[in-house]
Amino acid sequence: MSTAAELKKLYSKGKSRKVLVIFSIFIALFITVLISVSLGAGSPRFNEAINVILNKIFPSLDFNPGSKITQIIILELRLPRIALAIIAGAGLAASGAVMQGVLRNPLVSSYILGISSAAGFGAALAIVFEVGILAQYSDYITIVNAFFFSFLAMLLVLGIARIRGITSETVILAGIAVSFLFSAMLSLIQFLAPEHEALRAVVFWLLGSFQKASWDNVLITIPIVSFTILLMMKQSWDLNVMSLGEDVATSLGVNSKRVLLTSMVLGTLATATIISFTGVIGFICLISPHLARMIIGSDHRFLLPCCTVIGACLLLASDTVARTVMPPVEFPVGIITSLLGVPFFIYILLSRRRQSWG
């Protein structure tokens, strides 16, 4: 029999192990960044890339600034793209974890809840018919449209669910309905699309890509996404308690409806912000939480940071492969995430004895 003191020590040991795990995934992410910055179209390799970056950070020190073209490739093309991939992976993964957690369903993703198809519909509307919210700012018409319709979908889902009382079941069922509605309208647009080019652009958008990444995009997404991730992490205890069921959560002093609503809004905000810039990137938000749960367990205090870093790492790795595997052709990143992620996922699934859900 274990005494209380031993139990406390055992618990602290488990906690340090989790912190160590998160830290090592961080290092993996850092290594992925180094690899990613050294690969790709154009000549700059590892040494030059590092020199350019260090020169930019510490202009007073004696680092080789490299040629003009090297500087543009590294600073204006690769780095913003890497930054966007990291923030996108982090945000999508965290949203997935929070939504799965609060709805107590391991299959929940932005697809199931209608957010992705609504974003697709909004983007297609802009691409094919150039119809949009705030259409006068034509540069951003696709982005604004995608964002607007994602949020509209979420409001629809919550509105429908509200009629029967917001619970995880009603939210999921309403989400599936809304998702089908927007997919149908998206298909309709594709069917009616007058020109081949527009159709191709829609399909490309639906597969997701970081091709258009720029510092502008990064500067908009980073504050929004990191702020929502922080708010999500602040709710960790509420999310833990929610996984015991809504009744028990109430008996532990948690307003389950409020936590559900906040989580849905935060999750949608992060997801919509990201996919309106990158196009629909699925799968990361479904798979990262599962990977994280298998590695670190379900306690959201550790799950959310772990999942965030895993998502960032996975998406950055996928994008690096997507742009380097067959240059100058760039694969849509959505295809690569699945091609890389699925075998990895199955490997972890099979190599773990422990059941992670169900």
Partner 1 sequence: MGLKLEINNLSFSYNGYPALEGVTLELGPGEVLGIVGPNGSGKSTLLKCMNRILKTKQNTILIDGEDVRNIGLKKLAKLMGYVPQNSRNIFPFTVFDIVLMGRKPYIQWSLSEKDKEIVAQILEHLGIGNLAMRYFNELSGGEQQKVIIARALAQQPQILLLDEPTSSLDIRHQLEILCILRSLAQSKHCSVILSMHDLNLASRFSDTMVMIKKGCIFAVGNPESVITEENIETVYGIKSRVTKSVLGIPQVTPLESENNTIVNLLPPKIATKY
Residues of this chain that interact with partner 1 (CB under 8 A) are 1-8, 10-12, 14, 101, 104-106, 237, 240-241, 243-245, 247-248, 250-255, 293, 297-299, 354-358
Nearer to partner 1, 188 or 349 (CB): 349
For the CB of residue 351, give the shortest distance to partner 1 in the complex, in Å: 16
What are the structure tokens assigned to 222, written together? 């980073």
Measured from the CB of residue 10, what is the shortest distance to partner 1 in angstroms? 6
- Other residues' Cβ atoms within 10 Å of the Cβ of residue 356: 16
Burial of residue 38, with CB atoms counted within 10 A of its CB: 0-12 exposed, 13-18 middle, 19 or more buried: middle
Nearer of residues 305 and 332 to partner 1, judged by Cβ: 305
Closest distance between partner 1 and the C-beta of residue 260, in Å? 15
Nearest by Cα to 70 from 93, 51, 91: 51
Q: Identify which of residues 212 and 301 has a Cβ nearer to partner 1 in the complex.
A: 301
Smallest gap from Cβ 303 to partner 1, in A, equals 9
Q: Which is nearer to partner 1, 254 or 284 (CB)?
A: 254
Q: How is residue 214 written in tokens?
A: 């720029």
Question: Number of C-alpha atoms within 13 angstroms, CB side, residue 64?
Answer: 10
In sequence order, the 6+-apart residues with CB closer than 8 A to the CB of 277 are 84, 88, 143, 212, 213, 217, 220, 221
CB of 321 to partner 1, least distance (A): 30
Cβ proximity to partner 1, 279 vs 289, nearer residue: 289
Between residues 13 and 45, which has the closer beta carbon with respect to partner 1? Answer: 13
Residue that is written with structure tokens 């799965």 in the block = 100
Which residue number, 113 or 153, has a Cβ lying nearer to partner 1? 113
Q: How far is the CB of 348 from partner 1 (least distance, A)?
A: 14
**Segment 288-291 long-range contacts (CB within 8 Å, at least 24 positions apart):** 288/89, 288/92, 288/93, 288/96, 288/97, 288/314, 289/93, 289/96, 289/97, 289/100, 289/101, 289/106, 290/106, 290/345, 290/356, 290/357, 291/344, 291/345, 291/348
Q: Do the Cβ atoms of 288 and 310 come closer than 8 Å? A: yes
- Residue 89's closest CA among 277, 313, 282? 313
Residues 99, 108: contact at Cβ < 8 Å? Answer: yes
Min. distance of Cβ 111 from partner 1 in angstroms? 19
* Identity of the residue, 10 or 184, whose beta carbon is nearer to partner 1 in the bound complex: 10
Give the residue among 113, 94, 250 at the shortest CA–CA distance from 171.
Answer: 113
Least CB distance from residue 93 to partner 1, whole Å?
16
Cα–Cα dist 145/162, whole Å: 25
CB of 25 to partner 1, least distance (A): 19
* Six-digit token string for 266: 């935060």
Choice between 45 and 258, CB closer to partner 1: 258
**Non-local CB neighbours of 14 within 8 Å, separated by 6+ positions:** none
Q: Which is nearer to partner 1, 105 or 190 (CB)?
A: 105
Strand partners, 326: 329
Q: How far is the CB of 314 from partner 1 (least distance, A)?
A: 20
